[in-house]
Structure 1
Amino acid sequence: MAEESEGSGFADGELSADSFFDHELRKPIHEEIHARLIPPLQAPLRARRIVFLVGRQNEQMAYASRQLRDWCQTVGIEGPKESWRQFSFSTEKYSVTWEAHTEFVTLTWYAPINDLTARPTGVGLEVLKQFPIIAAARIDVVERHEISPSALLGFEPKSLCLSRVGSGNAQIGTDFQTDEHGFTRFEIAVDQLSSIKTGILVRRLLEIDTYRTMALVGLQDARVQSWIVGGLETELSLLNEEIGTVSSIDDSKRILGMLHSLSVRAGQSLDATAYRFAASQAYGDVLQIRLDRIEEEQSEKHTTITRYLSNRVDPALATCRATEKRQRSLNNKIARSIQLLDARINVDIQSQNREVLSSISQTAKGQYKLQSTVEGLSTIAISYYALGILGYVLAGFADYLPLSKNMMLGALAPLVLLASWFGIQAIKNRHKA
C-alpha cells in the first residue's frame, strides 16, 4: 500500500483533485437521482396528496416557489432552495413533502390513520390556493393480510379494483371515485412488507393517480380540436372543388387568399395543442411505467388497477394522437393545395404573357410594314420634288446642255431615288443610336 506523503492530503503518485475541473452538468445530474427521495412508511397511516396545476410558464412556477418560501419564513420553517424539486418538513402531527414538476406542484402529507382533517392547517395548503386543484388522493395503509370487508363496502362495486402486490405481501384496492372531500380513495393492507417497500408502494399509487389525471388533461382539448379540425377539413374540401373549376386568375387569387386564411387557422389549431398532446403522451408513458412497477396479481373476482386504467386512459391517449395526426395531415393538405393553386396561377400568367407578347409581336410586324411603306412613299415623294427642282435648274442652262432637259432628268432620276433612300436610312439609323 502506498504511503501518503506527509501534509500533502493525497498518496504518493496521486494527482491533486485541484488539477481537474467538473463538467457544469455533473452536479445537476448527480442531484437528479436524489431529487425525489421516498420516505419509509410504517402502517398504520393515512397519506393525502393534492395536485395544483400551476402552469408551464416559468414565471408561474417561480411565483409558486416564492409563495412557498415566504410561507416557510412566516411559520418559522427553513424554506426550500430557489431551484428546488422536493422539499420536506415535519410538524407535530404531519410529515409533509412538496414536489415541483414541469407544470404542477404536489403537496403530500402523512398522518395517523384516524386523522379526519382533509385540508389541515400547518402544511402550506394556503400557499397555492389561487391555483386550481387537478387531482387529490387519499391512501389508508393498515397492517392486515387483506383489506377489511367494511373498508371494501365504501367502494363502488362496478369500478372496484382489487389485487395483490409485493409478491403477495400487500393488497391494494380503489374504485377511482372521489369521496365527500374530493379525494380519490385507496386502501392498502400490508402483511410482512418492510417500511421501505411500503413507502415505495404508497408513492407509486400516489403517482399513478397523479399521472393518470395529467394524462387525461389533453382529452378535452382533443375533443374540441377534433370538431374544429372537422370544420376546417370541410372548408378545404369545398375550396379544392373550386380549384378544379376555376376559370380566371382573379378567381384563383381569391381562392388562394382563402387557403392562406385556412392555413393560418389550421396552424393555430396545431400550435394550441402541441404541448398539451405531447405532455399527455409523456404522462401516459410515465403512468404505464408506474403501473408495471407495482406488479399486480390478477384476482378471480376483480380487475386490476393496470387493466382498469388501460381500458380508459389508452383510448383517451389514442384520441389525442389521432387528433394531432389529423391536424398535421390538414396542414399538409392545405400546403399542397396552395402549391397546386400557385402552379395554376403561374401557368395562367405565363399563358397571358405569351398572348400579350404575341400581340406585341403582331403589332410590331404591322408597324414595321407600315414603316417600310412610309419609307418607300417618302423616297418617291422626296425624289419627285428633287427632280422638280432639278428641272427648274436644268431649264436655266438648256442652251448649254448636251442633251435636252427631259433626257437629263431621265438620266438623273435613278440617282435621285438612290440618294433619297440612303438619306432616309441614315436618318433612321441615327435615331436608333
Structure 2
Amino acid sequence: MVFTEHPLRRGLVREMHMRRFAAVPAPCEIVQMVWVISEEQRAQEDRMLRSAPDGMDFAIDAESRHVSSSTNSGSLFIWEQHTEASTITAIIEPQARTGQQRLVDWMENWPGGVVRATRIFVEPSETDAERKLDDMAFSRDDLVSCHINESVRLWSDFELHEGYGRTLIAAGTAPPRDLGRIVQRLQELGNYRNMALLGFPLVREYGPRLDRLERQLAEYAQTLDDEVDSDDEALLDRLTRLSSEMAVIRVETGFRLGATRAYADIAADRLEKLGIQPIKGFQSLTDFTERRLLPAVRTCESFEARLNGLSERADGVIALLNTRIDTRIKAQNRDLLSSMESSLGIQLRLQHLIEGLSVIAATYYAVGLVAYLMKGADAFGDGFGADFAVALLVFPVMLAIYLFVRHQRVRILKTRDNNNSRANRGTRETKRAEKR
C-alpha cells in the first residue's frame, strides 16, 4: 500500500463483518444462551472456549469478539462477546443430534449468569410445524403466532420450559441465508428486550428511596419559606446530605438506566425490521413485545427524569438558602462596619482631646524649662525680668507645639490615603482584567 492507513481502519472493517449469523437450514434446532459476565469472569470464559468439546478449534486472540466452529458431529457453535454479556449459539441439524447433549451440557456450564436461554425448532413448512405444536406444550392463553418477513411463521408462548424459552418456526420459502438473518433479528429482539428489562427491578428497588427524598426536600423547602429565623447552617447541612444521597443513587443507577435506553432502542429497531404480520386469533410478536417492554422502559425513563428533576430542585433550594445566608452575613458585616465607624469616630475625638492636652502639657514643660533658663540669666544679670519673659513665651511655645503636632498628623493621614488609593487602583485593574 502506498497510502497511510488509519490505525483503527482494520478494526472497523472487522466490526462490520462481526455480527454475521450462519445460514439456518430447515429442519434444525437452535440453542442460544445470553450470559451476563463480569470482567473478572472473562478469563474463565477464555479458558472455557479453549476447552471446547467435539474437536472444535477456535482461533482466539486478545481482540477476538466473535468466533465459530463446527463440531465433529456436524453442529455449528458460535460465540459472540458484547459489552456486558456473551451470546453462545449452537445450530444442530438432525444428523448431529448424537452429540447434542454433550455440547449443550458444555454450554450450560458457562461462567456468569443466564439472562436468556432459548430453543428454536425450525421446520420446513407450516404443516410440518403444526404437527409439532402439541410437543411444544405451549400455553394456549399466551400463545404468540404471526408471520415474519412474509413467508416465515412463528409460534411461542415465551414461557420457560425446563429452563428454556421455546419457539417454533416454519421456514416457508425463505432460503437458509435469509432465514439465518431473520432468526438473528428475532433472537436479538428477545435478547435486547431482556437486557433492557434489567433496569426495571433496579428502578423498583430505588423508587421508595426517591419517594422519601422528594418528601424530605419538600419539607426542607417549606422550612426555608416559613422560618425566616431558622438555623440555616443546620438546614444547609441536611440539604447537602440529601444531595449526596441523590448523587449516590445516580451513580448506582446511571449505567443501568443508560443501557436500558440503548437496549430498548435496538429492540424496537429489530422489531420494525422483522416486518410482523398479525394472524387472526393470535396475539402478534409486536403486541407481546410492546405490552411488556414499553411500560417497563417508560417506568425507567420516568425514574430517571424524577431523579434529575429532584437534583435540580435540590440545587435550587440550596442556592436560595446560600443566598439568604450570604445576605445575612452581609447585613452583619454592614452592622459591624457601622459599629466600627462609630467607634473610630469616638476614638478620633478622644485622640483630638489627647492632642490638646498633650499640647498643654508640652507647653507647661517647655515653658518651665525656659523659666529655669531665664531665672538663671536673671541671676547673672541686672534684673532681666525673667517672670515677665516666661509669661510672654507661653503662647508662642504653645502655638509652635500645636503646629508641629498638626503637621505630623496630616502627614500620617496623607500617607494612609495614598496607600488606600494604590490598593483601590490595583483592585479596579484586577476586575477589568477578569472581565477581559
TM-score by length of 1: 0.83
Match of 1:90 in 2: 70
Equivalent residue pairs, number = 408
Q: Which deviates more from structure 2 when the two are superposed, residues 28-37 or residues 392-401?
A: 392-401
- C-alpha change, 1:170 and 1:129, in structure 2 (3 Å) is closer
Distance 1:277 1:242 in 2: 33
Q: CA RMSD of the aligned region, Å? A: 3.1
Q: 1:123-177: CA deviations, max 9, x gaps?
A: 573585441111111111123335427616822233221112332x332111111
Query: Tell me, what secondary structure is at the counterpart of 1:193?
Result: coil
Q: Does 1:46 align with 2:52?
A: no
CA contact (8 A) 2:45 2:110 kept: no
1:135 counterpart = 2:119: no
Q: Which residue is equivalent to 1:10?
A: none
Distance 1:322 1:116 in 2: 48
Contact 1:387 1:409 in 2 (8 A): yes
Moved more, 222-231 or 320-329: 222-231
Matched, 1:175 2:140: no
Instruction: Name the SS for the 2:17 alignment partner.
Output: coil
CA contact (8 A) 2:48 2:110 kept: no
1:151 aligns with 2:133: yes
Seen in structure 2, the aligned counterparts of structure 1 residues 410 and 369 have a Cα distance that, compared at 3 Å, is same
Query: Equivalences for 1:155-304 in 2 at 5 Å?
Result: 155-167=138-150, 169-179=151-161, 181-245=162-226, 251-304=231-284
| Letter matched to residue 311 of structure 1 | R
Mark the runs of 5 or more structure 2 residues left unpaired by the alignment: 416-436
Q: 1:44 to 1:379 in 2, by over 3 A?
A: same
Matching of residue 417 in structure 1 with residue 401 in structure 2: no
Q: 1:119 to 1:368 in 2, by over 3 A?
A: farther
Aligned to 1:105: 86
- C-alpha offsets along residues 220-264 of structure 1, whole Å, 9 cap, x if unaligned? 112222222222222222222233355569x32322222222222
Does the 8 Å contact 2:257/2:304 carry over to 1? yes
Instruction: Return the alpha-carbon distance in structure 2 between the equivalents of residues 211 and 113 of structure 1.
Output: 29
Distance 1:271 1:369, change over 3 A: same
Question: Per the alignment, in what secondary structure is the counterpart of residue 184 of structure 1?
Answer: strand
SS in 1 for 2:102: coil
Q: Which amino acid aligns with 2:207?
A: S
Instruction: Specify the SS of the correspondent of 1:34.
Output: helix
Q: Which amino acid aligns with 1:40?
A: A
Aligned 1:382-393 pairs, distance under 5 A: 382-387=362-367
Does the aligned pair in 2 maintain the 1:71–1:127 contact within 8 Å? Answer: no
More helix by share: 2
Change beyond 3 A, Cα 1:244–1:115: farther
1:5 corresponding residue in structure 2: none
Measured in 2, the distance between the counterparts of 1:118 and 1:226 equals 48
Tell me if the contact between 1:46 and 1:114 (Cα under 8 Å) persists in the aligned partners. no
Rounded Cα–Cα distance in structure 2 between residues aligned with 1:123 and 1:23 = 42
CA distance in 2, matches of 1:271, 1:47: 39
Give the secondary-structure state (helix, strand or coil) at the position aligned to 1:135.
strand
- Aligned-pair CA distance for 1:35: 0.9
How far off is 1:70 after superposition? 3.0
1:118–1:213: structure 2 CA closer, same or farther, 3 Å change rule?
farther
- Give the letter for the 1:155 counterpart: F
Equivalent pair of 1:68/1:124 in contact (CA under 8 Å): no
Matching residue's letter, 2:19: R
Secondary structure in structure 1 of the residue aligned to 2:223: helix
Tell me if structure 2 keeps the 8 A contact 1:52–1:128. no
Aligned to 1:371: 351
Q: Aligned equivalents of 2:308 and 2:389: distance in 1?
A: 94
* Alpha-carbon separation, structure 1, partners of 2:170 and 2:412: 109
After TM superposition, the structure 1 stretch with the greater mean CA deviation from structure 2, 339-348 or 367-376, is 339-348
Question: Given the superposition, is the C-alpha separation of residues 375 and 191 from structure 1 closer, same or farther in structure 2, using an over 3 Å criterion?
Answer: closer
* % same residue: 26
**CA displacement at 1:204 relative to structure 2:** 2.5
Question: Cα 1:65–1:32, aligned 2, differ >3 Å: closer, same or farther?
Answer: same
- The answer (yes or no) to whether the contact 1:96–1:123 under 8 Å persists in 2 is no
